[in-house]
Amino acid sequence: MHIPGLSLAVVKDGKVIKAAGYGLANVETKTPATAETVYKTASLSKPVIAAAVMLLVQDGRVGLDDKISRYLDDSPGTWQEITIRRLLTHTSGLVRDPSDYRPYEDRRIIAVIRDAYSLPLAFQPGEKWLYSNIGYYVLAEVISRASGRLYPKVSIFCSQTYASEFFEPQFPRGLSYRSSPGSEKTCAATKVGWSAIQSHALRDRKRAYTKGQPAEICRAM
């Protein structure tokens, strides 16, 4: 099939009945999709962050009604009433992205967050709903500080070490922050093609890639 493809796994009673790819992982290069094709998860990383936050809440290390100033002591005054709960539910009032958002750059999470310090809130916390990427960067930083495991790059939400600590050891391996040489053979392209990904021409808000057979992912859920 010469169309953008997919990979799937059928798991029954813990056993893989079928794992296969259909169509093309990259139409531009005519690379077929297989059971081990890597796909960009992008903002699907947000549920991972939310789950990690709730595990910390369960352990008593984070409170849903904690003010974020407890974790970010240099946060601006306009952020003082923002709570963990508001961040999780996109009701914090934080804007979607910093004004000069560069998701392809290797930057510390806190650096991305501080880019938004000077921006006004879209509304007062709790008044409305607005999808916010920056809010989940803040949550990632909160996780890092509350757990005592600091990560220097935005890859916190997709590092294998991080996944292993907060989730089961069998969590799918191969979660990565950026593509590696030769990975165009296993990574599915976006709508603008692999060359655009490599040249950083595409705005990709999280750049998380899930690697490994779909069956592994199914078992972890």
Q: Report pLDDT digits (tens) over 142-151.
A: 999 998 875 4
User: What pLDDT, in 10s, does the model give residues 73-103?
Assistant: 999 999 999 999 999 999 999 999 988 887 7
**Residues 119/48, Cβ–Cβ less than 8 Å:** no
Where does the pLDDT of residue 132 fall: very low under 50, low under 70, confident under 90, or very high at 90 and above? very high
Q: Is 43 a catalytic residue?
A: yes
- Average model confidence (pLDDT) across the chain: 76
Q: Are 64 and 89 in contact (CB under 8 A)?
A: no
pTM for this entry: 0.68
Closest CA to 214 of 184, 174, 182, 165: 174
How many angstroms separate the CA atoms of 15 and 127, rounded?
A: 47
Cβ atoms of residues 167 and 137 within 8 Å? no
* Residues 152-205 pLDDT 10s: 333 333 333 444 455 544 444 444 444 454 555 667 765 544 444 444 333 333
3-state secondary structure 49-110: HHHHHHHHHHCCCCCCCCEHHHCCCCCCHHHCCCEHHHHHCCCCCCCCCCCCCCCCCCCCHH
Domains of the chain: 39-221 (3.40.710.10)
Residue 149 CA to residue 84 CA, distance in Å, equals: 19
Q: Which of 7, 43, 92, 176 does the annotation list as catalytic?
A: 43
Contact indicator for 9, 218 with CB cutoff of 8 Å: yes
For residue 16, the model assigns a pLDDT of: 92
pLDDT at 71: 96
Range of lowest pLDDT (26-40, 70-84, 95-109, 206-220): 206-220
- Lowest mean pLDDT: which of 42-46, 114-118, 119-123? 42-46
